[in-house]
Amino acid sequence: MNKPFIEVEHLRQYFPAGGFGKNRKYVQAVDDVSFTIAKGETLGLVGESGCGKTTTGRSMLRLYEPTGGKFTYDGETIFDVENKVYAEMLPYRKKMQIVFQDPYASLDPRMTVGDIVGEAIDVHKLAANKQERYDLIIEMLRRVGLNSEHANRYPHEFSGGQRQRVGIARALAVNPEFIVCDEPISALDVSIQAQVINMFEDLQEEMGLTYLFIAHDLSVVKHISDRIGVMYLGRMVELAESHELTEHPVHPYTKSLISAIPIADPKIAKASKRIVLEGDVPSPLNPPSGCRFRTRCPYATEKCAEEVPVWREITDGHYVACHNV
């Protein structure tokens, strides 16, 4: 068995939310999440807003210092909270990058596109002189479908799709191996989304990249991912290969998500039944006991309220956390 390239074990991320001492409250944004990613693979992470997808990606890169758990990158421990092991991050920033969700908020409006892409090149001293720096910047812009004229412009002169391309060029500038794609297309028009997705796939092939692709649109994730993990209220509830998960979902929450994917054929769409969940998502400040999904699950039993479901493998590579499989 090859060692996984990316290994996340029992990741926890709690944010303080008022109170003092024993009464201190915490938002349990991510609670006991584990997964692995092989080199060159794309792992999709889906779930509704607020389920902890983005927090998972940011905690892995230590943009948020994690509350608990362990993260191993290519056999090297980035952090192990329980054993108080924390790696120096600067060398790893070159290997691991992130593409942020909002292209309007993630680019500095006072910097030209050339300087935005060139900043990482400067920090990691990747260019020997100005000419080499300029050539690297233009090469990165070319890779994402922009040209040398765009280097001297400011972010406000670009459309959303072009800004996201600048964000991707910035991430690629240090020649990374692993990229967290944090809902990189959710702020874009549908026509632009397909272009950006295809660009991600081309870049992966060209540069041998490994992706954690975070999104709440399952139809997009299904297209780009090798495997898909489903999160609900800070916990991973199901994980399987892309085709296996969409064709044979096991967890009631996954079934509901998949039933919401729009179908282009009106006859099939009419025949397919939409599974509508009742009730609201509970607060991560005070999540339900046992299974977190039980308050909205049509199959919930008393056992679901008493015991946290065990994360187990039901068929080869298909994992689920549910008492009633």
Handedness of CA 282, 283, 286, 290 (dihedral sign): positive
**Residue 104 within a domain:** no
For residue 242, what is the domain's CATH number? 3.40.50.300
Is residue 270's pLDDT more than 80?
no
Is residue 1's pLDDT more than 50?
no
Q: What is the signed CA dihedral for 221, 250, 28, 304, rounded to 10 degrees?
A: 170
Report, as an integer, the average pLDDT of 109-131.
94
Is residue 97's pLDDT more than 70?
yes
CA–CA separation, 273 vs 260, rounded Å?
A: 9
Question: Structural domain of residue 258, as residue ranges?
Answer: 6-92+209-321
**Residue 129 within a domain:** no
CB atoms closer than 10 angstroms to residue 166: 25
Residue 11, phi then psi, degrees to nearest 5:
-65, 130
Q: Residue 235 is encoded by which pair of tokens?
A: 């916990």
**Residue 281 within a domain:** yes
| Residues whose CB falls within 8 Å of the CB of residue 231, separated by 6 or more in sequence, listed in order | 33, 45, 46, 47, 51, 52, 53, 56, 237
The reported pLDDT for the residue numbered 18 is 81
The reported pLDDT for the residue numbered 191 is 82
Q: Per-residue pLDDT tens for 217-260?
A: 888 899 999 999 999 999 999 999 999 999 999 999 999 999 88
The reported pLDDT for the residue numbered 193 is 86
**Residue 173 within a domain:** no
Is residue 138's pLDDT more than 90?
yes
Is residue 205's pLDDT more than 60?
yes
Q: Closest by alpha carbon to 82, among 62, 63, 66?
A: 66
DSSP 182-224: ESTTTTS-HHHHHHHHHHHHHHHHHHT-EEEEE-S-HHHHHHH
The reported pLDDT for the residue numbered 269 is 74
Report, as an integer, the average pLDDT of 51-75.
95
CB 236 within 8 A of CB 34: yes
Between 55 and 191, the more confident residue is 55
**Residue 276 within a domain:** yes
**Residue 137 within a domain:** no
**Residue 136 within a domain:** no
Q: How many domains does the chain have?
A: 1
Q: Residue 241 is encoded by which pair of tokens?
A: 């290969």
**Residue 97 within a domain:** no
Q: Per-residue pLDDT tens for 155-198?
A: 999 998 899 999 999 999 999 999 999 999 887 888 888 888 99
CB 141 within 8 A of CB 113: yes
